[in-house]
Amino acid sequence: MRNRYDVIVIGLGAMGSCALATLAARGLRVLGVDRFDPPHDRGSSHGGSRVIRLSYFEHSDYVPLLRRAYEGFDRISRDAGVALRYETGLVAGGAPGNVVAAGMLRSAREHGLDVEAIDGRDLSRRYPQFRAPADWEIVCEKQGGFVRPEATIRAALSLAVRAGAEIARNAPLVDWTADDAGVRVDFGDRRANADAMVLATGAWMPQSLGLAAPKLRPTRETIVWVDDEGDPAWQHDAMPVWLFDRGSEPAVYGVPAFPGMGVQRGLKVGLHGRGPDVRPEEIDAPISREIVDESVRAAAEHVVSLTGRKVVAAKHCLYTNSLDGDFVVGLHPAHGNVAMACGFSGHGFKFAPVIGEALADLATTRKTALPIGFLSPTRFG
């Protein structure tokens, strides 16, 4: 390995791996560094599947980024020769006035997206897998579905290496400095220098950034897989991805079974933002039976025939929450040659290719044409 690079990328999860692949494809000398061996299950980018959707209820400004992300997933899939994105359709909503359906419809109106508003009666008629009160407000999106996190990271890193990138695995970040001459990075038992750096270390960003870190709150979430028992109604070609708003309680979501899930097979369900708050190293804590049961009960309220099915697996996953729930992407406030991405708050993986592209732009030109201004680290003051 050399000791001088154009850009060093620290953290090779969703955003870092895509940034590394983008930089390498542009012909730059790049080094990727991760404290573990990516793809791994000690951060936020694992679990076999991640929901992807266009009619974004959280903030309509995400939609242009999502369109670019869809293109990015398909490009990585094509270049690496692996299926990454499954278009199952999406149904989401809840009781009258729920924020999910209202936000999806708002994004659809602003960006001309193909969605359809239905009620609970229509939901059960179209998809007998679900039960819902007749007056529920639901939005259907044809282009919704899921992407495969581990496969995406593996493909991005493979493409990066093919284009000349180097990767240092199992090499925790020790220290870094930056000035007008470049950056110096100490990791594992090595030191390397570069013109610029990308920091994308997930729940470890407070340690990576020190006093410059925005306020972040890592939480440990629990994902559960329920045995599909070969039920065709629970497969990805019959069941859409779904999310149901529960008001003041965490939303419950699910991803259908699909080929290649491995030991984590069946219907995947979870509670969005259930918690608790943790330090990132606490991902190894024992699985909470209470949270598993709560997740299954919440899903069983609306998924027909789920009650009584066996839980076949449960895993922890880290959310790194920002103060407002939106991502934090931009240049370091004190160092224009350091790009940073964090605070993805449990809804970031679907943006990995476009965030990787934005980070590559920032690291090399200190600006990007991509519409990420609303995600700036400076918005917190």
Q: What is the pLDDT along the chain (381 residues), one digit of tens a residue?
A: 679 999 999 999 999 999 999 999 999 999 999 999 999 999 999 999 999 999 999 999 999 999 999 999 999 999 999 999 999 999 999 999 999 999 999 999 999 999 999 999 999 999 999 999 999 999 999 999 999 999 999 999 999 999 999 999 999 999 999 999 999 999 999 999 999 999 999 999 999 998 677 899 999 999 999 999 989 999 999 999 999 999 999 999 999 999 876 556 799 999 999 999 999 999 999 999 999 999 999 999 999 999 999 999 999 999 999 999 999 999 999 999 999 999 999 999 999 999 999 999 999 999 999 999 999 999 987
Same-domain pairing of 159 and 198 = yes
Burial code (b: 16+ CB inside 10 Å, e: under 16) for 31-54 equals bbbbbbebbbebbbbbbbbbbbbb
Nearest to 48 by CA among 137, 138, 153, 132: 153
Strand pairing category for 4-10 and 30-33: parallel
Same-domain pairing of 232 and 350 = no
Q: What are phi and psi of 276, to 5 degrees?
A: -90, 175
Same-domain pairing of 235 and 255 = yes
Alpha-carbon distance of 44 to 227, in angstroms, equals 23
Same-domain pairing of 99 and 230 = yes
Query: Domain of 301?
Result: 88-145+217-321
Tell me the CATH number at 202: 3.50.50.60
Burial code (b: 16+ CB inside 10 Å, e: under 16) for 295-308 equals bbebbbebbeebee
Cβ(198)–Cβ(16) under 8 Å?
yes
Sign, CA dihedral 193-197-198-204, equals: positive
Alpha-carbon distance of 302 to 332, in angstroms, equals 44
- Structural domains in the chain (count): 2
Tell me the CATH number at 96: 3.30.9.10
